[in-house]
């Protein structure tokens, strides 16, 4: 009986390693489901599953415009008390571009300045916070770069708190995903970036100051909860957006876009609807019960199921896989088979 068992084992192993072939590329053509975007760099990330669903030029270092203020907010929330007051300087009041209308000599709380930064994208408020926390723009930039190191950002460097174009002020789509994830983890900041409208105290002349969120997806695309827009001539249109729906959180980053809202919406729709392993492989592991419940027939934690369900198919042809025979173990098995099998079955003479 031993020879029969040996032949059966050989046949089984041969079936596993055959046919012999070089590593092949999976999905050599781009995934047809990924939308066509105008953005030059982008990333789509599933926060719950901790997975990058799709990306393009995600490590390219680019000007970031006002999405800089995500890092500004992260540093301020670490370094200052929300009820601290700061007096507005001339340099803050006169910084230019997008503003909330700060007036030199006014007293503002950190809380209100943060709201102006994240909702109105106010450069004057960002400058005032930088001076309050860092003592100067240069001092605050040092804190920003230290925070970047703490977050593990490898393609970012900060030179100012507002995002106006400046040498050595850049980030990447991948790093923006990490910044966005950190912001969403802070309950107060996460609440600010989903706020559509806020009213501040009038200026000294009595003019009302109201801030409407610059993110046009808020309140329009169901489930969008932020995060930050940006635009400069060098950066183009930039958007960091987040979607929370049915227990999932998706983060989409587009940089150098011609239509950042359309690009982000396309990515979020794709990320929410893409075919996952849940549909392909997880369903057979579930048992149906009355009332539509489908408890798992295989013991898995909620985190296990979330990670399995959200694994995406490869988004492009740059990734490849190797067949078993191309692995070290596969080569050893192949050598053993060829050394023990007759020549007529592929063995060595």
Identify whether residues 179 and 302 lie together within a single domain. no
Residue 99 lies in a domain: yes
How far is residue 35 CA from its own chain's centroid? 17
Identify whether residues 128 and 266 lie together within a single domain. yes
Identify whether residues 265 and 285 lie together within a single domain. no
Task: Give me the number of domains the chain comprises.
Answer: 2
Q: 240 forms bridges with which residues in the sheet? A: 228, 253
Give yes or no: 196 in active site. no
Q: What is the per-residue pLDDT across 227-271, written as a single tens digit (0 to 9) for each?
A: 999 999 999 999 999 999 988 899 999 999 999 999 999 999 998
Give yes or no: 66 in active site. yes
What's 161's domain CATH number? Answer: 3.40.710.10
Q: What is the per-residue pLDDT across 197-219, written as a single tens digit (0 to 9) for each?
A: 999 999 999 999 998 999 999 99
Identify whether residues 296 and 250 lie together within a single domain. no
Q: 248 forms bridges with which residues in the sheet? A: 245
Residue 89 lies in a domain: yes
Is the pTM above the cut of 0.75? no
CA atoms within 13 A on the CB side of 219: 10
Given the residues 55, 66, 156, 276, select the one marked as catalytic.
66
Identify whether residues 143 and 286 lie together within a single domain. no
Given the residues 6, 8, 28, 69, select the one marked as catalytic.
69
Give yes or no: 121 in active site. yes
Min mean pLDDT across 72-86, 165-179, 226-240, 323-337 is at: 323-337
pLDDT of residue 300: 55
Residue 2 lies in a domain: no
Alpha-carbon distances, residue 313 vs 142, 305, 319 (angstroms):
40, 16, 11
pLDDT of residue 200: 93
Identify whether residues 215 and 310 lie together within a single domain. no
Residue 36 lies in a domain: no
Q: What is the per-residue pLDDT across 11-39, written as a single tens digit (0 to 9) for each?
A: 444 343 333 333 222 232 345 568 899 99
pLDDT of residue 246: 86
Identify whether residues 176 and 316 lie together within a single domain. no
Q: Which of 251, 274, 297 is a domain's end point?
A: 274
Given the residues 24, 28, 38, 121, select the one marked as catalytic.
121
pLDDT at 274 over 90: no
Q: What is the per-residue pLDDT across 70-106, written as a single tens digit (0 to 9) for each?
A: 999 999 999 999 999 999 999 999 998 888 999 999 9
Identify whether residues 269 and 286 lie together within a single domain. no
pLDDT of residue 315: 42
Identify whether residues 224 and 292 lie together within a single domain. no
Min mean pLDDT across 63-77, 84-98, 111-125, 277-291 is at: 277-291
CA nearest to 171, candidates 276, 253, 260: 253
Tell me which residue range forms the domain holding 214: 41-274
Place of tokens 């012999």: 20
Q: Which of 246, 274, 302 is a domain's end point?
A: 274
Residue 41's pLDDT band (cuts 50, 70, 90): very high
SS in 3 state form for 6-43?
Answer: HHHHHHHHHHHHCCCCCCEECCCCCCCCCCCCCCCEEE
């Amino acid at each position: 009986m031993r020879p029969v068992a040996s032949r059966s084992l050989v046949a089984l192993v041969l079936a596993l390693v055959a046919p012999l072939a070089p590593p092949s590329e999976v999905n050599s053509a781009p995934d047809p489901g990924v939308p066509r975007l105008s953005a030059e760099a982008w990333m789509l990330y599933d926060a719950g599953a901790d997975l990058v669903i799709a990306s393009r030029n995600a490590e390219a270092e680019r000007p970031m415009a006002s999405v800089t203020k995500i890092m500004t907010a992260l540093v301020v929330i670490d370094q200052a008390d929300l009820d601290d007051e700061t007096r507005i300087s001339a340099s803050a009041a006169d910084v230019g571009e997008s503003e909330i209308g700060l007036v030199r000599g006014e007293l503002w709380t950190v809380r209100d300045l943060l709201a102006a930064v994240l909702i109105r994208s106010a450069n004057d408020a960002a400058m005032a916070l930088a001076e309050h926390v860092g003592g100067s723009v240069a001092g605050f930039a040092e804190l920003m770069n230290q925070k970047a190191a703490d977050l593990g950002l490898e393609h970012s460097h900060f030179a100012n708190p507002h995002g106006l174009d400046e040498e050595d002020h850049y980030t990447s789509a991948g790093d923006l995903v990490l910044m966005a994830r950190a912001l969403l983890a802070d309950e107060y900041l996460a609440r600010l970036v989903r706020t559509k409208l806020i009213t501040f105290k009038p200026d000294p002349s009595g003019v009302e100051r109201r801030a409407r969120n610059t993110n046009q997806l808020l309140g329009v695309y169901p489930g969008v909860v932020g995060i930050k827009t940006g635009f400069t001539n060098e950066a183009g249109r930039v958007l960091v957006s987040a979607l929370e729906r049915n227990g999932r959180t998706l983060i989409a980053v587009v940089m150098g876009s011609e239509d950042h809202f359309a690009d982000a919406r396309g990515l979020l729709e794709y990320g929410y609807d893409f075919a996952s392993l849940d549909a392909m492989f997880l369903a057979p592991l579930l048992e149906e019960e009355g009332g539509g419940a489908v408890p798992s027939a295989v013991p898995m934690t909620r985190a296990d199921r979330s990670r399995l369900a959200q694994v995406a198919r490869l988004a492009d042809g740059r990734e490849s896989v190797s067949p078993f025979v191309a692995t070290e173990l596969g080569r050893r098995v192949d050598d053993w088979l060829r050394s023990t099998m007759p020549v007529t079955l592929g063995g060595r003479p």
